[in-house]
Amino acid sequence: MKMKEEKWLIGVDLGGTTIKLAFLDYYGEILNKWEIPTDKSEEGRHITVHIARAIDDKMAEMDITKDKFAGIGMGAPGFIEMETGFIYQAVNIGWLNFPLKDKLEIETGLPVIIDNDANIAALGEMWRGAGDGARDLLCVTLGTGVGGGIITNGTIIHGTNGMAGEIGHITSIPEGGAPCNCGKSGCLETVASATGIVRIALNSIESHKDSLLYARYKEHNELTARDIFETAQSKDKYAVEVVQNVTFHLGLAVGNLANSINPSKIVIGGGVSKAGEALLTPLKEQFEKFALPRVKEGADFAIATLGNDAGVIGGAWLVKTKLMK
């Protein structure tokens, strides 16, 4: 008789432009991974069919059947009812009151568990990445927006209606902050996302025509977060000022969160995290101003290591720990 452990897991990570899929073994090793484009036409109604077809095609290609799998763990952006896998709203996808879990179960014939995309990335990093098995972990994802996941005692925190861990929407600038997509103003996302960092730099760039950053801006006719961190590493005064501004707000938010949950690991992921020490060094300096001494002693910072695989690995973790029970 086959052991339960031999079942494979399917991880799905839904993004605004691509859907990442993977087959993984019981221990979180990726056996096969691939991606398909996200079809947002007709309010995203074709997405579940495309996922089911992609899984069927890959099974046929590998000559395996559905009974090899324990289920599907999927991360999606938006506001989610965790128990039912119902999406109240996913602005970037076009979903409104969309029964994601039910639809995907019908179309794949497999059990499905849904969570927020930032949460599954945090679970992936905890299990197989920079979290290194930490049971109390704070994960902050700095990309186009700012996402996050809070794990305490090995479990992701959801809150009363799925909104826990919305780190990007901590109010960072109480008055006079930039408007955020969520409808509020001054959210951390408006300052510490890739787009927020660039916005801050461009705000005063014309007043710093002697800076390396200005020269780079004029050369390419645009700026990226990478440009800002690279020129800050070259000791460009204006770029350093921008990085200090960004890491002040990020350090304040992370420091206050750490004081609340006392994590052993703080993992920084997303595209902006590719800056590495150029981001971590000033961030730690700011964090240490706001974290309590014992909280500071307990918390190690790390750059996320799984990159685009974090979500599919976190999805597999959900199947293993929730569906296989």
CATH class of 4-124+318-323: alpha beta
Band (pLDDT 50/70/90 cuts) for residue 317 is very high
Distances (CA, A) of 230 to 236, 240, 284, 307: 9, 10, 18, 20
pLDDT tens digits, one per residue of 13-34:
998 889 999 999 999 999 999 9
Distances (CA, A) of 33 to 9, 39, 54, 92, 316: 12, 19, 11, 24, 12
Band (pLDDT 50/70/90 cuts) for residue 4 is low
The residue among 235, 311, 323 whose CA lies nearest residue 12 is 311
**Beta-carbon-side half-sphere exposure of residue 109 (alpha carbons within 13 Å):** 8
The residue among 303, 308, 241 whose CA lies nearest residue 272 is 303
> Does 1.10.287.1260 match the CATH number of domain 132-305?
no
Q: Has this prediction a pTM greater than 0.85? A: yes
pLDDT tens digits, one per residue of 228-254:
999 999 999 999 999 999 999 999 999
**What pLDDT score was predicted for residue 324?**
86
Q: Are strands 8-14 and 265-269 parallel, antiparallel or unpaired?
A: unpaired
Q: Where in the chain is the domain with CATH 3.30.420.40?
A: 4-124+318-323, 132-305
Q: Are strands 18-24 and 8-14 parallel, antiparallel or unpaired?
A: antiparallel
